[in-house]
Amino acid sequence: MLRFIKNNKFQILRFIIVGLLSTGLNFLVYKTIYIFSSNIIFSAIFGYFVGLLNSFLFTSKWVFSNYKSIRVDKAFLLFTLIYVLGGIEMTITINVIYKITEQHNIAWLFGAGLAASNNYLLSKYFIFKT
């Protein structure tokens, strides 16, 4: 595992940077729409979609820039599916860890870490095939 991290350290770092920026954009859009609409569900969905789109664009152009050619619509559909599964996985992990530790911050860190790891690996090997 350490060799994998060492061999992919720049790609992993870029993936983390894109994830952090996309999460920030997600929150900014969510907050802005909520201020104007007071509709939390619409704000959350639209914010998540904007963050996901940003993440896809930068992941495909910067993180996995040497990927083999794939149709954009197919790649985006797979990317979205992977991230939805990651969200479900994160939610389940958070609930399990919270029940064990009763520490919501630790539970979130475990859930986010597991989901991000799987999002990276599935994107790398099933979409961008680098």
Tokens of 127: 């979409």
| pLDDT tens, position by position, 45-56 | 888 889 999 999
Report d(CA 65, CA 71) in Å as an integer.
14
**Sorting pLDDT into bands at 50, 70 and 90, what band is 67?**
low
Report d(CA 57, CA 47) in Å as an integer.
16
Q: Which long-range contacts (CB under 8 A, 24 or more apart) does 37-42 make?
A: none
**Number of residues that make up the chain:** 130
Q: Give percent of the chain with pLDDT exceeding 90.
A: 48
What global pTM score does this model have? Answer: 0.81
Measured over all CA atoms, what is the biggest interatomic distance in the chain, rounded to whole angstroms?
49
The 3-state DSSP class for residue 38 equals coil
**Of 1, 14, 3, whose CA–CA distance to 66 is shortest?**
14
pLDDT greater than 80 at residue 70: no
